[in-house]
Amino acid sequence: MEGLEELEIWKDWMDWKEWKNWGDGKNGKKLNTRIKNKKRNTKMYLKISISMLALIACLFVACDKTEDPPVNNPDDFFVFGRFYGECLGEECIEIFKLQDGKLYEDRNDQYVSNESFYLADFQRLDDTKYEGVKDLWSFIPGAIYEEDQVRFGCPDCADQGGLYLEIRTGAFHEYWILDQNKNEVPQYLHSLMDTVNMRIDLINNQ
């Protein structure tokens, strides 16, 4: 492209000499301006092309996401589960924990309190179950870390059940209790709610 540009400029230069010899130089000045504009436009085109290539490369890198959880500290964990009061059977209260590349299930099956962290007795599950839920970290919206409230709606007040979430990452440690009725929960949490419910079903069906 650079050689073609120089050839075009050379041809325009010869044309300019002919114009200069033919007239009083005014036409030559106009042509010289046109040559400068063409060169400037060519450089601008090259810059835009390079920028577009860089953007495409970034998009390819962004699409190549790892499935591993974005957690490096082995002490960090994500507890997730659901609970139903008017219910019979083991699946009425299901609490799990993701930590350090492993999945655990609570054996206490205690009803979730609105006032404190859930007190669990976790037992490790097999790696097959972990593989099915290990990406849950990536569904946690950043806005949840800025939340002032820990209880949304009235979880299980009408036997609709509730969700329990707990995160510890670094110095941050908090829990949240969500109504299963999405109308009572901020919209930015809806995707996480759906995903948690689906992954619990997946664990139970494996």
Q: What is the pLDDT along the chain (206 residues), one digit of tens a residue?
A: 545 455 455 555 555 455 445 444 455 555 455 555 555 555 555 455 555 655 555 444 444 433 444 556 889 999 999 999 888 877 899 999 999 999 999 999 999 988 899 999 999 999 999 999 999 999 999 999 999 999 999 999 999 999 999 999 999 999 999 999 999 999 999 999 999 999 999 999 98
For residues 116 and 90, state if they share a domain.
yes
The last residue of one of the domains, among 14, 40, 63, is: 63
Tokens linked to 55: 């953007």
For residue 22, what pLDDT is reported?
45
With respect to residue 165, please indicate whether it lies within any of the assigned structural domains.
Answer: yes
Domain count, the chain: 2
Alpha helices in the chain (DSSP H): 2-22, 26-63, 127-133, 190-205
For residues 107 and 187, state if they share a domain.
yes
For residue 195, what pLDDT is reported?
97
With respect to residue 70, please indicate whether it lies within any of the assigned structural domains.
Answer: no
Beta sheet of 162-169, edge-to-edge order: 122-124, 102-106, 93-99, 77-83, 162-169, 172-179, 151-152
Contact 119, 111 (CB under 8 A): no
Contact 163, 81 (CB under 8 A): yes
d(CA 136, CA 182): 19
Domain that holds residue 51: 2-63
For residues 17 and 87, state if they share a domain.
no
Contact 57, 146 (CB under 8 A): no
- Please tell me the pTM assigned to this model: 0.66
